Structure 1
Amino acid sequence: MKRSIVMIITALIISATIIPTPSFASEVKVDLAENAKSAILIERDTGTVLFEKNSDERLSPASMTKIMTMLLIMEALEDGKIQWNEKVRTSEYAASMGGSQVFLEEGEEMTVDELLRAISISSANDASVAMAERIAGSEKQFVKMMNQKAKELGLKDTKFQNATGLPAKNHYSSARDMAILAKELLKHEKITNYTSQYESYLREGTDKKFWLVNTNRLVKFYPGVDGLKTGFTKEAKYCLTATAKKGDMRVIAVVFGAPTSKERNKLITEMFDYAFSQYETKQFYAKGDELGKVTVEKGQQRNIKIAAGESISLLTKKGEKMDDVKTSLKLNKHIQAPIKKGDEIGKIVLIKNDKVLSENSAIAAENVKPASWWTLYKRSFSMFTKLQ
């Protein structure tokens, strides 16, 4: 019996220039973030580090902690565990949070959409705890989820004690870990619909109408900035994890421990200016681009579409000549039903001079259920008769 597995492994010769691996940052002497305790600047698609300063130092992240909180909210939405229009009740504990808040009252209900706006725009501690309790049952259980996710992402210098970033012993992160966390959050494209808003309102139509103003002023004053999260406590000083996009290039900048909010914004602005003036991104595939089809073993349908799991790019130094880069699609050996849309079924590999530059996920673009016994029998019988 012939077994036909259609594995579309195409190699395209594409002109592009790459910068060296993330260690490149240590080779470039750039005078940035002088007044920060630590900082890092990365290009989002490739993860290439363009600048770093004390990037692995463990420091208090303050409300940048909420990047993880928002990530777990977005994952719960994607998994269908919560719904955008679902109303969430505020507990006495959530209502008791100090610091930045939207003054939720015990028993007050807001939708997930409203609470996420409160968190992402106004850095609301009460909204963060209300969502933590809805997702995990308690903030304590939610913190366990936060630390488990940090472990999955390989965050070696991060440990959380709460969902808000309020001062707590043994609650820390690093600039590098925050950049990785921001990179993961940005995979959920809807999040910037929230973090990019400069202002919004809660409780409209009531005498308790509440004005939300983004704590990240750069979303208004720096073109292309659409997130992510500020932070401040007396211990942490002024912190910010920010992202900006121009053309195909998105960068993430993190600052810990700036002396003032004005200086924090200045440092981030200088890092963005440096990135966009010196580099550009060459995109090969956008997230969701179809790459071809592959045969599925024992599936209701024999072939499924393959797509790019993320935007696949290389970073180029502006003005440099382009060299040959090959891309190839390498699929898993056995692709068998059931398959869920979004499952990784292979890798898109970028290669230069026989050296692998990067590997990116190739995913199933549709669901495939297992074929019935009768379907498999008919296929086998049909294949047998063709061989006669």
Structure 2
Amino acid sequence: MIKKFLQGVMALLIAVGCLVFVSNVTATDAPTLKQPVVDVQIDAQKYYTDVVAADMVARKNLPIYTTINGDKQTKQQITANQFFKIKEFDVNIAGVPYYEVDGGYIKAAKSDLVIPQAMDEKNYFITQPGKVFTATKIKTFTGEDLKTVQREIKKNKKLRVDQLVWSATGEPLFKTNAGWIPAKKNLVKDVPEYRVPATAASSYDMTTGKFMYSKNLHKRLPNASTTKLMTLYLTEKHMRATGADWNTKITIDRSVARLSHAFYGEIPMKTGEVFTLKQLYECALIKSSNEAATALGIWVAGDNQKFIAMMNEQAQAWGMKDTHYYTSSGLDVDDVAKFKIIGEPGTSKTAHTYSSVHDLTILAEHYIQEYPDVLTTASIPKAKIKGITIRSTNWLIKGRPLYDKKAPVDGLKTGTTPKAGEVLVATGQKQGYHRIITVVMHANQDRYIVTKNMMLNAYARFAMK
């Protein structure tokens, strides 16, 4: 009803008020767009854009509200100079205009928003921070008026974009580490995005809390032994909450001992054998021991079913909507059913734990933020447990064959099953840069090479400093 009323108001205003509006608006407020847009001025502070999914840019950081009344803010915001799309225009009962955007609503205020003029083939925008290459030899300037030359930059040189702004006439400008330049395609070009040869993949900046790359972000896929990250997180959480320590003794039960001697067992164990908490933790994280992960879960909750319920409860608490656990190790149900160590009663033998690159990123971020010591263990290339030498399954960490100081990795967890293919949750922090979390699921090529290339591309395309 409000929208129909508004349409009538807008029609009337278009007929009698557009000349007043046009005469009062600067080029930055109402520039010429590639597609027709009807702008109607209500007063000096507010405006409406009658166009579906209009492109806009925030002048400053804008809070996103949960409702059109603007009474409660979400944890998200639109950052200054961010390029975003409007889903819908609405007016609340009080007559205040709002735009619906991803995640909620923002106020439609001229002081907060810019409708960019440069939306043609000669100009383009990027969401800062980012990097560009020079497409030709260019001059940079000391100020945004582009009057005083600062230096000359050769072709194919990389520039860091610190800020995206508009001139008084609505022309886009980049403030770079080498000075100000016009944001024109004939002068600079984007660093190409790496196309990841995997069913799903993502790279994530822990400092900004944003995905730099994503492919099938929420696609549910078998995730194999990356499941152990949740098991190990809950283990450390329980240890700290109960006053236990890394030297706490854990006795192996019959089901775990039997599992250890199966085809997918890693560390042979005996019923009644005693391991320290630290030994089982290292076996599970470094070697990806299924029996060690299962033993830790039973220690935490008292039995396997209760622990898997805890895993799913924690996933729900973190908003991991694409995830469900059936085992604490990541093995498929048909692999562990004969040892009676599945989760929910009546679970089908064809069931398997699944997750998404989005949810695995959430899990890794929580783990690293709450218990950063996980990286100390995850970066160990080899260890000795009861006389048995175990080597890390993660070939990207220092001391393993594919370590690369240009894309250093210090964690986190691999996963491999016939259904899951090659999975890898990796993290690293190049000196002077933000920490990255990458996830690759069902890699079509070597997961380590795919991950390294994804990290190198992230460093090349984004500032992260």
Q: TM-score range by the shorter chain?
A: 0.5 to 0.7
| 88-97 or 53-62, larger mean C-alpha shift | 88-97
Amino acid at match of 2:409: V
Q: 2:252 aligns with which of 90, 100, 103?
A: 90
1:232 aligns with 2:416: yes
CA distance in 2, matches of 1:20, 1:182: 28
**Alignment map for 1:233-248 (pairs within 5 Å):** 233-246=417-430, 247-248=432-433
Give, in whole Å, the separation in 2 of the partners of 1:127 and 1:235: 22
1:181 aligns with 2:346: no
Percentage of identical aligned residues: 29
- Distance in structure 2 (CA, Å) of the matches to 1:214 and 1:74: 20
Flag as ranges the 4+ runs of structure 1 deviating above 4 A. 16-21, 27-31
2:394 is the alignment partner of 1:216: yes
| Aligned with residue 119 of structure 1, among 284, 287, 292 | 284
Shift of 1:229: 0.4
Partner of 2:207: 45
Matched with 1:157 is: 322
**SS at the partner of 2:291?**
helix
Rounded to whole Å, the distance in 2 between the matches of 1:50 and 1:126 is 36
Partner of 2:298: 133
- Cα RMSD over matched residues? 2.4
Question: Counterpart amino acid of 2:311?
Answer: M
> Would the aligned equivalents of 1:33 and 1:267 in 2 still touch at CA under 8 Å?
no
* Residue correspondence of structure 1 range 1-388 to structure 2 within 5 A: 31-97=193-259, 98=262, 99-168=264-333, 169-187=351-369, 188-203=371-386, 209-220=387-398, 221-223=403-405, 224-246=408-430, 247-260=432-445, 263-282=446-465
Q: Check 1:277–1:34 CA distance in 2 against 1; reply closer, same or farther (3 A cut).
A: closer
* CA distance, structure 2, for counterparts of residue 275 and residue 79 of structure 1: 37
Aligned equivalents of 1:131, 1:20: Cα separation in 2: 46
| CA distance in structure 1 between the aligned counterparts of 2:196 and 2:267, rounded to whole angstroms | 34
User: How far apart, CA to CA, are the structure 2 residues paired with 1:153 and 1:229?
Assistant: 19
Deviation at 1:17, TM superposition (A): 8.3
Cα distance between partner residues in 1 of 2:462 and 2:200: 22
Aligned residues of 1:100 and 1:123 also touching (Cα < 8 A): no
CA offsets, 1:116-140, max 9 Å, x none?
Answer: 1101100000100111010001111
Could you say if the C-alpha distance between residues 259 and 79 of structure 1 is closer, same or farther in structure 2, counting changes exceeding 3 Å?
A: same
Counterpart Cα distance in 2 of 1:90 and 1:139: 13
Query: Which structure 1 segments of 5+ residues have no match?
Result: 1-15, 204-208, 283-388
In structure 2, stretches of 5+ residues that fail to align are 1-78, 85-101, 103-126, 131-189, 334-350
Alpha-carbon distance in structure 2 between the residues aligned to 1:242 and 1:20: 29
| 1:219 partner SS | coil
1 CA distance for matches of 2:270 and 2:315?
Answer: 31
SS of alignment partner, residue 197 of structure 1: coil
Q: Is the 8 A contact 2:226 2:414 kept in 1?
A: yes
Matches of 2:82 and 2:352, distance apart in 1 = 37
Question: Residues 295-351 of structure 1: CA distance to partner in whole angstroms, max 9, x if unpaired?
Answer: xxxxxxxxxxxxxxxxxxxxxxxxxxxxxxxxxxxxxxxxxxxxxxxxxxxxxxxxx
Q: Match of 1:50, SS?
A: strand
Larger radius of gyration between Structure 1 and Structure 2: 2
Query: Any conservation in 1 of the 2:205–2:211 contact (CA below 8 Å)?
Result: yes
Which residue does 1:349 correspond to in 2? none
Taking the aligned partners of 1:19 and 1:92, their CA distance within structure 2 comes to 57
Query: Looking at both structures, which has the greater relative contact order when contacts are Cα pairs under 8 Å and sequence separation is at least 6?
Result: 1
On the 8 A contact 2:249/2:274 being kept in 1, the answer is: yes
| Contact 1:32 1:267 (C-alpha < 8 Å) held by counterparts | no
Please give the alpha-carbon distance, in whole angstroms, between the structure 2 residues aligned to 1:231 and 1:20: 36
CA drift at 1:170: 4.7
Deviation larger for 93-102 or 178-187: 93-102
Give the partner amino acid of 2:438. Answer: A
Q: TM-score scaled by structure 2?
A: 0.52
Specify whether residues 75 and 19 from structure 1 end up closer, same or farther in structure 2 by C-alpha distance, changes over 3 A only. Answer: farther
Deviates more, 1:215-224 or 1:189-198: 215-224
